Structure 1
Amino acid sequence: MTEPLRWTLADGREQLYFSLPGHTPAPVADRRPLPPRAKEQSQLRFDRQTGQWVVIAALRQDRTYLPAADQCPLCPGPTGETSEVPAPDYDVVVFENRFPSLSGGADFRLPDPAASGAGFVSAPGHGRCEVICFSSDHTGAFAQLPLQHARLVVSAWRHRTADLLNRNGIEQVFCFENRGEAIGVTLNHPHGQIYGYPYLTPRTEHMLRVAGEHRARNGSNLFADLLARERADGVRIVARTDSFTAFVPFAARWPVEVHIYPNRFAHSLLDLEDTELDEFTQIYRDILGRFDRMYPTELPYISALHQYRDSERQREGYFHVELMSVRRSENKLKYLAGSESAMDAFISDVTPESVAQRLREV
């Protein structure tokens, strides 16, 4: 993949155009009268009850909410006056979020809560929040992208992962997509987001701790062992390639949940060869297509790429994608109510085996 074309928006935010062979992007000047960005746009606060950081980002209350298609800020804006993408067209574009949860410069060190006794601990909301538009087609979807175009999105994910992991104060890079109003999207244009966190997120930290305990007991990698068991059992496998396996996990928490793993150990997209990235694109798009064939209407979903640094702290982390949906039937949603939201104790209304069979058949 060639390097993306770099552009600058009216308020100084960075923008990158990733293009298919033969297509040269032609952005124009961003002429919108945007206000200058505040130096500190959010705040980190430490929750001593849970030992977790919470991001307070009040500016996100002002973000655009479900605009009409002709007012979509992610569609091309050839005049440079209407859109976050001041260009007549594009293939894939990435830019800093105008309403970020995390932002800031290079000089940052996360405070140690233990050094503050029992007092309140806070810090500037350092990090990075980017938007990635998968296509200029407002009515499209990732599953509908031509294979070469979907592969370009994967290349953009890989590029941004490498860049953000090299930045000071970024501990974890998270590429994800929220699709569907039932999930809570505020823009219907096909897009995802990329977060650079200044700390390990709670779920990542917990999984790494459990994986470390597994290594101490068994001398092997937890994720590799789970993948081997799923492949041997076979009943929850949805799709396979030579290099990847997609399955509904044995203890799935969501009404529809599929995990995609490379068949060999890798920390992140950065560890995969080009041929493996090709296969990853194929199976990822395949699973999303199966999601949309389950019901008469498109399935709302969350797609989460779990990536890890090649470091001692994260050495047990095994790259994988978790795809999940809150839809439990054609016209019913799974709400995270008392047990799930208050106690983090999930209760599933369907068996993982039946979901896997359904997905294999569609």
Structure 2
Amino acid sequence: MTAPHAPRITPTRLSDGRELLYFDDPGTPPRTPVADRRGLTHRAAPGELRYDELSGDWVAVAAHRQSRTHLPPAEACPLCPTTASNASEIPEPDYDVVVFENRFPSLGPDTAVVSPTLPWGHTVPAVGRCEVVSFTASHTGSFAQLPYERARTVVEAWAHRTAALSALPGVRQVFPFENRGAEIGVTLHHPHGQIYAYPYVTPRAAQLGAAARRFYDEAGGRATLLGTLLDRERAAGERVVLEGAHFTAYVPFAARWPLEVHLVPHRHVADFSALAGEEKDELADAYLTLLRGLDALYPTPTPYIAAWHQAPLEAALRPASRFHLQLTSPRRAADKLKFLAGSEAAMGAFINDTTPEQVAARLRDALSGAPAVRAATGKAPA
């Protein structure tokens, strides 16, 4: 059995009161936090929540985000370590992984319970929490290029923040994610992701949760929908791209996107914080492998959204909802992207330009030619 991966966690505060936590790789010396020398005096005013009676969805209005930093040059990057010429969001001269409250949040900074609905014409403050996760002090590169130990530290950061945010008043869903690539709409090139703690269950999570709950109830609580789909995909094999002791990655039978891979644990767990040490070990390995395979498909890096689906903090939905990754890209060819137009954007009715079986075969080929992340990398099926 390997030793547990235990990063050194050092909390501090930025000059405007926002929380910041350093997650240093195991074995690093203790850190005495450097003070934020920018002298920020106040935080952005919160946005507002509005309830759309037509759809039953909440909408966050965050006009203050119009002034957020947009694709700055490397010498002015807010996620690089602070230097004499660039006082950034991270006061230290170096770091491994860092998590901090977003300076321009869509939700928060306060957390509170919101009512199930709101009358037309009324608003409430956009409570919740938005955090930034910077994967590395290096301005260039991507998550796929992280060494295994650093990726494993990021997994621990996701687990830590999931547990902490889930305990805040009114939080009903915690969503870690990464937008990668200008085609996706990133505003910073520095390798990073985000975590949103919503005061409501998002529409997509509610849809998935309701389907999972119906299946769970019909099975008398003896089976879950995602667990059953995982078993079917593993038995069929043609869409499986990576299989390990604890996780399997596959292109789903009814994939919506030109590139779509689901990474699902073999054990039913609700979120990052419920994973055991050996599961986190394999997860870091499998995720790095998938991202490197995705980038090997074309001559240039592939844009993607990495969406970590965690069980909502809702008593009715949580027992049936299984933690998993949905990794998607709009890239349908080396020089073509899929845009969500009439059918998809207006009706939510997806039309895929690729077949899941062909995509899975291409990903298996890409993975077979890539070097192993570490010795315990799961096997790719023949």
| TM-score, normalised via structure 1 length | 0.95
Q: Deviations over 1:141-170 (max 9, x none)?
A: 111111111000000000000000011111
Quote the Cα distance in structure 1 between the aligned partners of 2:357 and 2:308: 23
Q: Does 1:234 align with 2:229?
A: no
Q: Which amino acid aligns with 1:7?
A: T
* Cα distance change on mapping 1:80 and 1:125 into 2, 3 Å: farther
In the alignment, is the contact (CA less than 8 A) between 2:47 and 2:107 conserved in 1?
Answer: yes
In the alignment, is the contact (CA less than 8 A) between 1:29 and 1:80 conserved in 2?
Answer: no
> 1:28: Cα distance to partner?
2.0
**Cross-structure match for 1:169:** 170
Q: Deviations over 1:235-273 (max 9, x none)?
A: 000101011000000010111000000011111112211
In the alignment, is the contact (CA less than 8 A) between 2:201 and 2:312 conserved in 1?
Answer: no
Q: Which amino acid aligns with 2:310?
A: Q
Secondary structure in 1 matching 2:193: strand
2:65 to 60, 64, 78: 60
Secondary structure in 2 matching 1:169: coil
Identity over aligned pairs, percent: 51
In the alignment, is the contact (CA less than 8 A) between 2:21 and 2:100 conserved in 1?
Answer: yes
> 1:7: Cα distance to partner?
1.4
Q: Which amino acid aligns with 2:231?
A: A
Q: Deviations over 1:88-131 (max 9, x none)?
A: 1000000000000001335x2212327x4xx3342110000000
Quote the Cα distance in structure 1 between the aligned partners of 2:208 and 2:326: 13
**Cross-structure match for 1:201:** 202
Quote the Cα distance in structure 1 between the aligned partners of 2:348 and 2:121: 25
Correspondence 1:282-297 to 2 at 5 A: 282-297=285-300
**Cross-structure match for 2:332:** 328
1:344 to 328, 345, 348: 348
**Cross-structure match for 2:75:** 70
> 1:221: Cα distance to partner?
1.1
Q: After TM superposition, which residue ranges in structure 1, 4 or more long, deviate above 3 angstroms? A: 24-27, 78-81, 216-219
Quote the Cα distance in structure 2 between the aligned partners of 1:60 and 1:83: 18
1:263 to 250, 263, 266: 266
In the alignment, is the contact (CA less than 8 A) between 1:28 and 1:79 conserved in 2?
Answer: no
> 1:37: Cα distance to partner?
1.3
Correspondence 1:148-227 to 2 at 5 A: 148-219=149-220, 220-227=223-230
**Cross-structure match for 2:143:** 142
* Cα distance change on mapping 1:259 and 1:157 into 2, 3 Å: same
Q: Does 1:281 align with 2:287?
A: no
Quote the Cα distance in structure 2 between the aligned partners of 1:311 and 1:346: 28
Quote the Cα distance in structure 1 between the aligned partners of 2:240 and 2:27: 38
**Cross-structure match for 1:111:** 115
In the alignment, is the contact (CA less than 8 A) between 2:172 and 2:314 conserved in 1?
Answer: no
Q: Does 1:246 align with 2:249?
A: yes
In the alignment, is the contact (CA less than 8 A) between 1:309 and 1:315 conserved in 2?
Answer: no
**Cross-structure match for 2:371:** none
Quote the Cα distance in structure 1 between the aligned partners of 2:253 and 2:326: 13
Secondary structure in 2 matching 1:321: strand
Q: Which amino acid aligns with 1:128?
A: R
* Cα distance change on mapping 1:70 and 1:131 into 2, 3 Å: same
Q: Which amino acid aligns with 2:52?
A: D
Q: Does 1:120 align with 2:121?
A: yes
Q: Deviations over 1:308-334 (max 9, x none)?
A: 157532211100000000111001111
1:30 to 22, 36, 59: 36
Q: Which amino acid aligns with 2:315?
A: E
In the alignment, is the contact (CA less than 8 A) between 1:79 and 1:87 conserved in 2?
Answer: no
In the alignment, is the contact (CA less than 8 A) between 1:80 and 1:86 conserved in 2?
Answer: no
Could you list the runs of 5+ residues in structure 2 that have no partner in the other structure?
1-5, 367-382
In the alignment, is the contact (CA less than 8 A) between 1:18 and 1:93 conserved in 2?
Answer: yes
In the alignment, is the contact (CA less than 8 A) between 2:171 and 2:313 conserved in 1?
Answer: no
* Cα distance change on mapping 1:166 and 1:80 into 2, 3 Å: farther
* Cα distance change on mapping 1:81 and 1:358 into 2, 3 Å: closer
Quote the Cα distance in structure 1 between the aligned partners of 2:264 and 2:49: 32
In the alignment, is the contact (CA less than 8 A) between 1:80 and 1:87 conserved in 2?
Answer: no
Q: Deviations over 1:169-206 (max 9, x none)?
A: 11110000000000000000000001100011111111
| TM-score, normalised via structure 2 length | 0.90
In the alignment, is the contact (CA less than 8 A) between 2:310 and 2:324 conserved in 1?
Answer: yes
**Cross-structure match for 1:96:** 101
2:319 to 282, 296, 315: 315
Could you list the runs of 5+ residues in structure 1 that have no partner in the other structure?
none
1:48 to 47, 53, 56: 53
Alpha carbon RMSD of aligned pairs, Å?
A: 1.5
1:86 to 88, 91, 113: 91
Tell me the matched-pair count: 357
